[in-house]
Amino acid sequence: MTIELENLMRFLKSPDKTQVEMGLGFAHLFREEFEEHFKCSIEDMHEMHALLKKTSIWYKEKNFLEISRLFVNRRCVIKVPKAIAMLEELQELHVNNIDLTDFPFEMCELKKLSFLSLTNGLLQNLPIGIKNLKTLEVLFLQSNRFKEIPAVIGELKKLRTLCFHNNQIQSLPVEITNLEGLISLELQRNQITHLPVEIGNLQGLKTFSLENNLLSHLPAELGNLKGLTALNLINNPLISLPEELCNLKQTRIYIAQTPSNMIIPKRLAKSGLLIR
């Protein structure tokens, strides 16, 4: 790094917002080195700067290169700036109510991200690069247009909360059962017709919401989820319930708005686990 770029970095890292703006103004004098260092164009940097100025985060953080939380919505911007990859300290990112059709691949470079919310958009898939988010613990993708859960989700080994509710999902990939640390799985308001038998491998799961789906049968392996505290089956066309649900002795099993003629094993009916 040249002395000139080092001086420019001092401006950009200054807690004084005026100096940051001066630094961005000088950046064009060192365009080639600047863009090589930050892996983005100066124009992308200005776009990011304009976004940050519209958020309260800009006024709270020490400097914009060290921002740890960011909230983006339609009032701020109509797309996610490419320069978001510069925010190397970012841990929590909310991108809501923006008509995203594709997951911005630049987000895959946010190596410290632990919380990601991309809701009320038009997403249908995720890039393979999302597996680089190795510190991700919470992922909210509700109210998009997913028809299936991408198998790459199974690569996010630290994931504890996964939310895909209000999409168009019909089935679950077996890879989702690789998420051994998963505690909460929210899949309500989809079109799921069946669950993989491997779902019983999610031994750490505590809450599992399947409300408003198209399930007619459940795998007996659900009975292996002995740490489960809540299983929401409300408004599913269930024909029967497996007797193995009796193993879920700490679980409240919600079955309101299921068929009145649903077959319930006697032992399960007397267990006190079912809540209508």
Give pLDDT, residue 58. 53
- Please count the helices (runs of H) and the strands (runs of E) in the chain: 6, 10
Give pLDDT, residue 19. 75
Report the range of poorest mean pLDDT among 36-45, 91-100, 206-215, 229-238: 36-45
- What band does 1 get if pLDDT is binned at 50, 70 and 90? low
Measured distance CA(223)–CA(243) in Å, rounded: 8
Checking if the pLDDT of 121 tops 70, the result is yes
Helix 3-12 with 31-38: angle, nearest 10 deg? 60
Percent of the chain's residues with pLDDT above 70 = 93
The residue among 119, 121, 126, 129 whose CA lies nearest residue 93 is: 119
Checking if the pLDDT of 260 tops 90, the result is yes
Give pLDDT, residue 18. 77
Average pLDDT of every residue of the chain: 89
The residue among 46, 45, 92, 54 whose CA lies nearest residue 74 is: 54
Measured distance CA(197)–CA(175) in Å, rounded: 12
Look at the domain 67-275 and name its fold: 3.80.10
What is the pLDDT averaged over residues 160-176? 96
What is the pLDDT averaged over residues 217-225? 97
Residue 246 contacts residue 273 (beta carbons within 8 Å): yes
Measured distance CA(200)–CA(196) in Å, rounded: 9
This prediction's pTM? 0.88
Measured distance CA(11)–CA(18) in Å, rounded: 9
pLDDT (tens digit per residue) in 72-117: 876 666 677 778 888 888 999 999 888 888 998 889 999 999 999 9
Residue 237 backbone phi and psi in degrees, to 5:
-80, 55
- What band does 123 get if pLDDT is binned at 50, 70 and 90? very high
